[in-house]
Amino acid sequence: MPATTMSKAEREQSHARVFDLSQHSLRELNQALHKLTPGSNETAWEVLNPKGSHSVAVGVDQPITIDVRGSVGYYCAGMNDGAAITVHGSAGPGVGENMMSGSIVIKGDASQYAGATGRGGLLVIEGNASSRCGISMKGIDIVVHGNIGHMSAFMAQSGNLVVLGDAGDALGDSIYEARLFVRGKVESLGADCIAKEMRPEHIELLQALLDKAGVTGVKASEFKRYGSARKLYNFNIDNADAY
């Protein structure tokens, strides 16, 4: 629910600690979030008026919920380790970069490098994601309801990238062991990335990810799987044209 439509009484009833970025600084917000300890009862937070601020709710390491009412700039929820963060708007570049655990949901679109180098947790983008989505991912799961841009999953090492729409050019260039599932069309595959067989274990894995991301009305069998041909893992001069 957008902040503007929520009454003061409703907000108080929600027991969320409300933090208005038009009244307080980004520093105060992040400091307050970092001060939380495992026993804290301040487990629900709401951030108002982000207005495209960078680094909103970065480095959170407690299992709390944070609802950000509006759009954010760069690196929102960067290095998140355990929190469930929802952005009720769109996100700028590098949302959820290097996430360790927890979840991030973007209700709108995400800019470049969404989920870059993420190591764990789940990043859901309900709109589209721009280029380099999941670049260098190292264990994170990313589910994009819309399309993703070019060079996505570049050098992706581990984890799963699920795309309900289409993927841009050079998907999975120089990919390592990450798994890519795309339902729509792929503009082109990058170096060493190939289409792979969907075996039962992949259907099972993908279905679990779709369920976890709250995706309904879409079957795992509608997706194609892509991954590494593993031909560039050890340098061979005869492959030099591929680089």
Taking CB under 8 A as the rule, does residue 37 contact another protein? no
**Contact with another protein (CB under 8 A) among 67, 97, 109, 173:** 97
Q: Which of these, 35, 111, 20, 29, lies nearest to 73 by C-alpha position?
A: 111
In the chain, the N- to C-terminal Cα span, in Å, equals 48
Nearer to another protein, 80 or 223 (CB): 80
**Contact with another protein (CB under 8 A) among 70, 94, 168, 190:** 94
**Contact with another protein (CB under 8 A) among 20, 81, 166, 169:** 81
**Contact with another protein (CB under 8 A) among 50, 70, 89, 93:** 93
Q: What are phi and psi of 119, to 5 degrees?
A: -105, -20
> If residue 46 lies in a helix (H) or strand (E), which one and from where to where?
strand 44-48
Strand residue runs (E) in 126-229: 138-144, 158-163, 179-182, 193-196, 224-228
For the segment 165-184, give every residue that binds another protein (CB under 8 A).
176-177
Distance CA 165, CA 169 (A): 14
**Contact with another protein (CB under 8 A) among 139, 168, 190, 227:** 139
Taking CB under 8 A as the rule, does residue 117 contact another protein? yes
Taking CB under 8 A as the rule, does residue 9 contact another protein? no
Contacts 24+ apart (CB under 8 A), 30-35: 30/55, 30/57, 30/58, 30/59, 33/57, 33/59, 33/60, 33/62, 33/64, 33/66, 34/59, 34/60, 34/61
For the segment 182-241, give every residue that binds another protein (CB under 8 A).
233-235, 237
Q: Enumerate binding residues for another protein (CB under 8 A).
A: 26-27, 30-31, 34, 54-55, 58-59, 61, 73-75, 78-79, 81, 93-94, 97-98, 100, 112-113, 116-117, 119, 132, 135-136, 138-139, 154-155, 157-158, 176-177, 233-235, 237
